[in-house]
Chains A and B, each alone.
Chain A
């Protein structure tokens, strides 16, 4: 548990998790855009359109949290505040 906590405290690990969440959002957006084209509708499969209302809420919340988390990290690491 202690080891896990220290891994999560690591700045690089935090950037990895933030990057991963943003990447998933990007996959969702790209899949949705491509599936708008009639012959490329199958790309919808890679996206998250089929999520239930609850899952959608949690996922959107997680994405917004990741954006704020990224802001906080950049604020600390680039500008040296905090």
Chain B
């Protein structure tokens, strides 16, 4: 990418001394281009200042960590609006910033979900400050980094339709869709990348086999136990079946209806009530998505945390926040992510772990544990949803 190649190209080859020496290449990025462009900038910087590979890793993680830091500040602003108490707002902000799971995702793994989360939070803040078009712009930028925030789009639309009318809701929709579209198009045109290749990579995210932090990961366990019955072809066929592949759309429709129901229950026009309704709406959408998507990477849980920590100021017990990140962190550890970095110490160390996690009976134990944690987590999410729905 640092030489102008598309971030979605199928093979990104290993650069001697940088990154994982365990595979000759890794697959292209499944996101719109900004993250790839940032990585290119990091590589260029490292070429100018080749101090150490760790400096390169630090630069990669700098953006997600900065995202966490600014997100913590926005949480402070939102919590201040919600509680009108500086001390409590500071505490919520710190609880998020120092959350072990947040630190793990950004500082250990280097995954950049904190950026789309940050822009989503800014969008909420601007909505309650009655700046809907800037809010739409911010949500659009969030979508540009990772498509996930698009699941929140109907919530502000329903909110604006009630508060300001259909015209503002339609304008919001237009801005939030056009902004990421145009900004994504600019580097594609500038560098002459294949638009079809870029789009296929992003679209491919809708067609993934079940796995990670969801009950659908039973597929991996069954494949491990009965490889002749649950073959790759059989599982591909199962997960390409339309009602399973797009079950998350049903989950989101249900979440939006819940939000609409909650919105009509609130008769006050006070800012704090609007904020609570929005936070609940964004939480419903996240929970609906996490419960129905066949593939749920651990980092998606991050999207729920800011809403839960602010809502814990009033009607939601704090244990729900703690358990949410707790389950996700346990799953990440079971998934052996910390050992994915073992090559930094010794390549042989990595080879041993890689052999163990992919060889029976260790692999079976790992899949059983993954399924157990995912089932408990999903059951917990259902409980959380009912708890949030009950409170008025």
Binding site for B on A (CB under 8 A): 12, 16-17, 19-21, 23-24, 27-28, 39-43, 45-46, 48, 50-52, 55, 58-59, 62
Partner of B254, one of A16, A39, A52, A55: A16
Q: Say whether B206 faces chain A, with CB atoms less than 8 Å apart.
A: yes
Residues in A neighbouring B242, C-beta threshold 8 A:
24, 28, 48, 51, 59
Q: Say whether B204 faces chain A, with CB atoms less than 8 Å apart.
A: yes
Q: Which of A12, A19, A52 has the most CB of B within 10 A?
A: A52
Determine whether the beta carbon of B250 is less than 8 Å from that of A20. Answer: yes
B239 to A: closest C-beta gap in Å: 11
* Given A27-B246, A51-B240, A45-B200 contact (CB < 8 Å): yes
Those of B231-253 within 8 Å (CB) of chain A = 237, 240-243, 246, 249-250, 253
Residue in A closest to B252 when the chains form the complex, CB atoms: A20
Q: Say whether B203 faces chain A, with CB atoms less than 8 Å apart.
A: yes
Determine whether the beta carbon of A17 is less than 8 Å from that of B240. Answer: no
Residue in A closest to B246 when the chains form the complex, CB atoms: A24
Q: Beyond A41-B196, A45-B207, A52-B237: 18 further Cβ-contacts under 8 Å?
A: A12-B257, A17-B250, A20-B246, A20-B253, A21-B243, A40-B196, A42-B196, A42-B199, A45-B204, A46-B206, A48-B240, A51-B240, A51-B241, A55-B237, A55-B240, A59-B241, A59-B242, A62-B243
Grouping DSSP codes into helix (H, G, I), strand (E, B) and loop, the A interface class, with mixed when no group exceeds half, is helix
Partner of A16, one of B204, B207, B253: B253
Residue in B closest to A54 when the chains form the complex, CB atoms: B237
How far does the alpha carbon of A39 sit from the alpha carbon of B200 in the complex, in Å?
Answer: 12
Partner of B241, one of A40, A41, A43, A55: A55
Those of B194-211 within 8 Å (CB) of chain A = 196, 199-200, 203-204, 206-207
Residues in A neighbouring B249, C-beta threshold 8 A:
20, 23-24
Residues in B neighbouring A20, C-beta threshold 8 A:
246, 249-250, 253
The number of residues on chain B lying at the interface, defined by a beta carbon within 8 Å of a beta carbon of chain A, is 18
How far does the alpha carbon of A69 sit from the alpha carbon of B86 in the complex, in Å?
Answer: 54
Residues in A neighbouring B204, C-beta threshold 8 A:
45
Determine whether the beta carbon of B253 is less than 8 Å from that of A19. Answer: yes
Determine whether the beta carbon of B257 is less than 8 Å from that of A16. Answer: yes
Taken residue by residue from 249 to 273, chain B's Cβ proximity to chain A (1 for < 8 Å, 0 otherwise) reads as: 1100110010000000000000000
Partner of B200, one of A42, A55, A58: A42
B99 to A: closest C-beta gap in Å: 33
Residues in A neighbouring B246, C-beta threshold 8 A:
20, 24, 27
Residues in B neighbouring A16, C-beta threshold 8 A:
250, 253-254, 257
Residues in B neighbouring A12, C-beta threshold 8 A:
257
Residues in A neighbouring B199, C-beta threshold 8 A:
42
Residues in A neighbouring B237, C-beta threshold 8 A:
51-52, 55
Determine whether the beta carbon of B240 is less than 8 Å from that of A50. Answer: yes
The list of the 3 closest CB pairs from A to B, nearest first, reads A20-B250, A42-B196, A45-B203
How far does the alpha carbon of A40 sit from the alpha carbon of B241 in the complex, in Å?
Answer: 23
Q: Which of A24, A39, A62 has the most CB of B within 10 A?
A: A24
B78 to A: closest C-beta gap in Å: 30
Q: List 30 A-B contacts (CB under 8 A).
A: A16-B250, A16-B253, A16-B254, A16-B257, A17-B250, A20-B246, A20-B249, A23-B249, A24-B243, A24-B246, A24-B249, A27-B246, A28-B242, A39-B196, A42-B196, A42-B200, A43-B203, A45-B204, A45-B206, A45-B207, A46-B203, A46-B206, A51-B237, A51-B240, A51-B242, A55-B237, A58-B241, A59-B241, A59-B243, A62-B243
Residues in B neighbouring A28, C-beta threshold 8 A:
242
How far does the alpha carbon of A40 sit from the alpha carbon of B243 in the complex, in Å?
Answer: 24
How far does the alpha carbon of A55 sit from the alpha carbon of B234 in the complex, in Å?
Answer: 11
Residues in B neighbouring A40, C-beta threshold 8 A:
196
Residues in B neighbouring A21, C-beta threshold 8 A:
243
Residue in A closest to B234 when the chains form the complex, CB atoms: A52
Residue in A closest to B236 when the chains form the complex, CB atoms: A50
Residue in B closest to A21 when the chains form the complex, CB atoms: B243
How far does the alpha carbon of A20 sit from the alpha carbon of B245 in the complex, in Å?
Answer: 12
B76 to A: closest C-beta gap in Å: 37
Residues in B neighbouring A58, C-beta threshold 8 A:
241
